[in-house]
Structure 1
Amino acid sequence: MTIRTTGTVGDSVIPGTESQHATATAEALVESRCSFEAPLPTPDPTPTEPSEGEEEPEEPEEPEPIVGLVCDGEPWVIDLEDPDLPDAADLFRVRLSD
């Protein structure tokens, strides 16, 4: 990537450079800050029949948090009830190189 200033160099101690523009060239490297390892699936529990006279308990379905995302060595847990989602700066690092 090459960029060029919109303004000129202006007054300078070097004669003839007043109308020149500055330029710079660099390559942007996008690096991942995170890795993801999907957790192993947990088997569904075997349903059991309630005993006679016993009501089947109602279990509220609670969403499981999303786990397995690790950014800069720190685990990132995403709670589905109150999600705090990472943005691009949390997931990637951009460096400039020659």
Structure 2
Amino acid sequence: MICLEIIAEVTSEDLAGVYKEVAETVGVENAYKIYSHFKGLQLMFPLKFYSKEYIMQQICSEYNGKNVHALARKYGYSESRVRQILREAKDEIV
């Protein structure tokens, strides 16, 4: 395990490959935590950050009958996908 004193002295410029970019985004200490937890693994991050269930809940609770466009922009979905989510939620209730 790397001594935490060393981490305090390191800058993002001192890191290898993708860790440099990670450290520039979240800081060296957090980059080290990510490294410690996932080292040796290949990670792929989904395009969507929130779960389908969360999005469905939020869209349904915020929908006022007229704001499909605003919800689509807010959550990064197309208007047709927002309408589909609303239909799916309605079908689950019935």
Q: TM-score, normalised to structure 1's length? A: 0.19
Instruction: Name the larger-Rg structure.
Output: 1
Structure having the larger proportion of residues in strand: 1
Higher-RCO chain (CA-CA 8 Å, sequence separation at least 6): 1
Q: TM-score, normalised to structure 2's length? A: 0.19
